[in-house]
Structure 1
């Protein structure tokens, strides 16, 4: 049975909005994947969204909590971010959000 405190705990989403130099999105995407591949315990998923026909994107990375997110800010992770830094057209905007509602699709029942 789920403990009452679990109902009060929310996942955390780190959302980054960025624009890359022309033609650099694919390289940034490769580095993003390298960074995400280093995540383990407390990591709940990641999405990299790209505005069609542009070099602008949004990253959404989901964590169990702030401690899990902080634990993955390692030297390896920082080295990957340092490689990514020259690819940005301007400084990315980072924000953290509580996930207060999560809707997952229900299974499709075959008729």
Structure 2
């Protein structure tokens, strides 16, 4: 029964969509990796996507609960936000999404 209840639990995704100033994506990526590496409680994984040939990107950070993101706001997180802010053309659009479906890719095992 507990496996079924665990199955019913949904993760949450924090999504940020933005554009960096020309040539600043690599620096933003380094800062993103630094921030994400400091996350612990409830952290479920992260993705950083870049539109090919541009400085536009989408950051997706997976959390067990929305509150877990708040619990992970530490000195590293604050410092990274301060360093990353000036790299954006405009502030990114951010929001939380509930993960309603998760489908694994094909495996030849």
Partner of 1:39: 39
Q: Give the aligned CA root-mean-square deviation in angstroms.
A: 1.5
Q: Within 1, Cα distance between the matches of 2:76 and 2:6?
A: 32
Aligned length: 109
Partner of 1:101: 101
Structure 2 residues not aligned, in runs of 5+: none
Task: Answer with 1 or 2: which has the greater Rg.
Answer: 1
Three-state SS of the structure 2 residue aligned to 1:90 is coil
What's the secondary structure of 1:32's corresponding residue? helix
Structure 2 residue aligned with 1:82: 82
* SS of residue paired to 1:53: coil
TM-score (norm 2): 0.91
Moved over 6 A (4+): none
| TM-score (normalizing by structure 1) | 0.90
Residue 13 of structure 1 aligns to a residue whose secondary structure is strand
Tell me, in whole angstroms, the C-alpha distance in 2 between the residues paired with 1:31 and 1:48. 11
1:50 corresponds in structure 2 to: 50
